Structure 1
Amino acid sequence: MNTEIRSVVVEREIAHPPEKLWRALTQPHLIAEWLMRNDFAPVVGHKFTLSGDWGSVECDVLTVEPGKSLTYTWNHAHADPAFDLRSVVSFTLTPTGSGTLLRMEQTGFRPEQKQAFGGARYGWEQHFTNLERVLAGLEQGGAQ
């Protein structure tokens, strides 16, 4: 039996400084624009919910290193074990010459969770595209 835990990793160079990216990763009104509705706070131990049209994810903040890294649990309870996901999402921000390298890793996918794994791989790429759109809006004096 294959018991290997899988991870989804998305890396993207984003033409904005880490401080601006950090705001988009930690301010609830901005998170809502690129990811999901939420009651997030960048405080270790804070429990929050991400809500989408398809359902919700229960989360718990594990680590906060302002401007550098953020980690939280990403748990989606489901009666079907193939969709009952217990995972951890980590964001790492690395300054580059032209902005920031944003790395997201979601780990905890069991081998039988092929659909959840594929959905996450596709979904995070879309979320990153939305994040870049939100950051461009901040550039033009939009939401702070």
Structure 2
Amino acid sequence: MNTNPHDDTLTTADGRTALRMERRLAHPPERVWAAITEPASLRQWFPSEVSVELAPGGAMGFRFPGVSGPGMTGTVTDVDEPRLFAFTWGTDHLSWTIAPDGEGSLLTLVHTFDDLPGAASFAAGWHRCVAALGRLLDGAPVAVGRDTGELHETYVRRFGLGRGSVDNEAGVKRIRLERQLVRPAETVWDVLSAGIEPVAGLPVPEGFTAEKVPAGHVTEVRAPKFLTYTWDPDAAVSWELGEGTGHGARLVVTQTGPPDADTDAALAAWRTRIDRLAAELLEQ
């Protein structure tokens, strides 16, 4: 089975993002169809337990093992056995297309969603799930497992995620970078602070700074979620660690000002700093 993440693509249109994966399976479409539509088979490789009314407009339910409370819901949008199965999952849409490919099949997944920074998490998750589907069809032991982070970071590079942006609104220059990380906020904070806990009024620990961007003094800190420091009345940097895709913390770094800032150089510096942080987190 083809499992090369570099064959996968990401496109954006009308504010939505579409992840496309193609995998060749050595099994006829009828067998693949059963594996992606029958709940007993789905629970062995799909990321949640699934209930489904297999008809257009049919209800779907998604429940993660070990998670209490009501599960997520969806609706079947397309059923064309053994060619097409598509459905909503919350606000996301998933389309599974099966085409004959010699004696086997070509399986194509298109996952459409709103959260562009989460694309690497989704891609890494589906990569492992579809690989498990292939093992199920082959009659081999099935274990989806969790990504240690390397596959996630491969997709970050593949899709060019976390590149950041610069805007100049009302005369205020702002740099913003958002990136999904692979470790929880507490771990990220420990790596950033490196044993020097930030304190308001004191110099910011080096881990929260970037080369060619001045350091300064901490003005606000709420460990392990938020830190702001300033070095100029019109310049500040903030680090925010929030909820992401469930694979780790979502990082947002923002620099505002100063008016004479070289934003291209600063953006490049923050990209380098966050890339280095992501690499350090893989060792945790």
Instruction: Note if 1:5 corresponds to 2:16.
Output: yes
Q: Percent identity?
A: 25
**Higher mean C-alpha deviation, range 52-61 or range 24-33:** 52-61
2:54 to 42, 50, 54: 42
d(CA) in 1 for partners of 2:132, 2:114: 24
Number of residue pairs matched by the alignment: 124
CA contact (8 A) 2:49 2:65 kept: no
1:54–1:121 CA distance, 2 compared to 1 (3 A): farther
- The residue type paired with residue 40 of structure 2 is H
Cα deviation, residue 54, structure 1? 7.6
Deviations 1:59-106 (A, max 9, x none): 11011000100110011xxxxxxxxxx111000101011310000001
Match of 2:95 in 1: 90
Runs of 5+ in structure 1 lacking a partner? Answer: 76-85, 139-144
CA contact (8 A) 2:23 2:108 kept: yes
- The residue type paired with residue 124 of structure 2 is Y
1:122 to 124, 143, 146: 124
CA contact (8 A) 2:23 2:106 kept: yes
- The residue type paired with residue 137 of structure 1 is G
Bigger radius of gyration: 2
Instruction: Note if 1:103 corresponds to 2:115.
Output: no
Residues 66-77 of structure 1 correspond to what in structure 2 (within 5 A)? 66-75=81-90
Runs of 5+ in structure 2 lacking a partner? Answer: 1-12, 141-284
Cα deviation, residue 121, structure 1? 0.8
Match of 1:79 in 2: none
Q: Which has the higher contact order (CA 8 A, sep 6+)?
A: 1
Cα deviation, residue 109, structure 1? 2.3
- The residue type paired with residue 131 of structure 1 is L
Normalising by structure 2, what TM-score? 0.41
Normalising by structure 1, what TM-score? 0.78
Between structures 1 and 2, the one with greater strand share: 1
CA contact (8 A) 1:59 1:72 kept: yes
Pairwise CA RMSD of aligned residues?
A: 2.0
